[in-house]
A and B are shown apart, each in its own frame.
Chain A
């Protein structure tokens, strides 16, 4: 019973928050709503017995990604409303919902087949974090290392792109690109 109440409460909160992100004209409001939505999504992970992923969601998304956005938004003027030239509203809404329904069917069709079998079932007596570590460091070790390299590359790319010749005026920067 508690689960059901929590599910519907978190669903309403997340959908509301993400609706604000998509519809808001102010970039600062959109960012704050996105951070709130990320925290509420971690509630679903705790409901689904994925405690490690819930903590990672809070730490990485709300801690790292949103902080990065907040720092990035110092470069832009966020007090003004975002000016957007939005045309063809009806076509946009129709297309987006049609494609969403198609994607829903694409994803639901294989799940409703009965031949899904667990390759890595959760082990009795071990918690979520222990089992996740066992699988991550045996079967998915190569992918884990590749993700580490990818994060390193992304970090270097971010530093190089943002900090290069910060003191120059925009006119002098033609040689960067």
Chain B
């Protein structure tokens, strides 16, 4: 029988995959993909809690998270294209202008 713990563990696994991608990747497009994974992992957690506690707030919140993800992609991809036209590279190291 499936319990809340199953879904939360799955959500945590997906979240750690996303974090691994965010830390490991140097390409900005791949970083965007990893953030999508993070948002989706959180969505699964919210919906699972919403189901097992009989409360619909979790679904509402994941609905808003989807809206945030959609607008994040629109703005982020616009900035990415602009940066690519300007510098010819979408590598994360090309943005490192201050030597920190």
Contact = CB atoms under 8 A, between A and B. Distances in A.
Contacts of A135: 56-57, 60
Contacts of A108: 8
Contacts of B50: 48, 50
Given A15-B13, A22-B25, A153-B71, A118 B37 contact: no
Given A7-B2, A30-B33, A176-B82, A50 B26 contact: no
Q: Tell me the dominant secondary structure on chain A's binding face.
A: helix
Which of B14, B17, B18, B32 has most chain A Cβ within 10 Å? B17
A100 B26 contact: no
Interface size on B, as a range, is 35 or more
Contacts of A27: 27, 29-30
Contacts of B86: 170, 173, 177
Contacts of B99: none
Interface of A: 3-4, 7, 11, 14-15, 18-19, 21-22, 27, 30-31, 34, 37-38, 41, 44-45, 48-50, 52-53, 56-57, 60-61, 64-65, 68-69, 72-73, 75-76, 82-86, 92-93, 95-97, 99-100, 103-104, 107-108, 111, 116, 118-122, 128, 131-132, 135-136, 140, 143, 147, 150-151, 153-155, 157-162, 170, 173, 176-177
